[in-house]
Amino acid sequence: MGKVLLTGAAGGLGTVLTKALADEFDLVLTNRSESDELPSDIPFIKADLNDFEAIKSIVQDNDIETIIHFGGLPVEHEFEEILDANLRGTYHIYEAARLAGVKRVIYASSIHAVGFLDAREAPYDIHTETRPDTFYGLSKVYNENLGKLYHDKFGIEVVNLRICGCVEKPDSKEHLMIWLSHDDLIQLVRKSIITEIDDVVTIYGISDNTRSFFKVDRDNPLNYSPKDNAEDYVHLLPDSFGHEDDRKFIGGHQFVKKDAVE
């Protein structure tokens, strides 16, 4: 197997993935800032996603076969910031992949691509329409479709991972419905790298929670089989949610300016 490029490597989930995958895959790391948390023996190249020449050079010069794209802004920001980091930045990843003949792009999408689905109608499967709840969520929907374009037009294999609330252990009541454990994240990304696919695969990154908002088909194309359950931690969780949301919506609570989108 060829080299694997991980963007956003210095972020919280990027650091988790680097440490978990380093022994099995030939990793190359990139991020717009450095981090002392990353292993010093893995190649790291500092670059901004907005710098297309830098991204293109990283992909071409390192013979990258697979890109795990976790870079970009991880929460809601003003539209112009989302435009640069998440929309334009992901386009640069796909275009660099096309030019270098990269085989596969694994994209970190988000629960916020469907955040305005009615929580009372859950659980939902992967065939439910997208209902983004923020500019951030909207960028995830756009980039999922960008991947479909690059697959249909240029043959790049694409995996869209709709990452839910990924923390080591649940720490709020909402995680009973949306938790993704670190171990399940690692399993999901690993299978996204090694599993043979011939189409665009979109899947929810969520653990096997009793109260999950989303269903993961046991016959999913990646053979992803989540193991952890937030219910095991229910006795440790506070009674309230981690934000001002009455759970009418699955997401919907990350607005920078609430009146800007009403």
The answer to whether 233 is a known catalytic residue is no
User: How many structural domains is the chain composed of?
Assistant: 1
Model pLDDT for residues 235-258, shown as the tens digit of each residue: 999 876 655 555 689 987 655 444
Q: What pLDDT does residue 125 have? A: 96
The token pair at 1 is: 């197997």
pTM, two decimal places:
0.94
The per-type count for the chain, helices as H runs and strands as E runs, is: 7, 9
Q: Which of 124, 136, 150, 204 is catalytic?
A: 136
Q: pLDDT digits over 56-91, tens only?
A: 999 999 999 999 999 999 899 999 999 999 999 999
| Residue 46: both structure tokens together | 């500092």
Question: How far is it, in rounded angstroms, from Cα 187 to Cα 223?
Answer: 10
Please choose, from the candidates 87, 149, 140, the residue with its C-alpha nearest in 3D space to the C-alpha of residue 114: 140
Residue 154 belongs to domain spanning: 3-260
Q: Domain containing 196 — which CATH number?
A: 3.40.50.720
Whether residue 261 is predicted with pLDDT greater than 60 in this model: the reply is no
Mean pLDDT of the chain: 93
Which amino acid appears at position 233 of this protein? Y
**Separation between Cα atoms, residue 149 and residue 107, nearest integer Å:** 14
Q: For residue 15, give the nearest of 34, 210, 217, 46 by alpha carbon.
A: 34
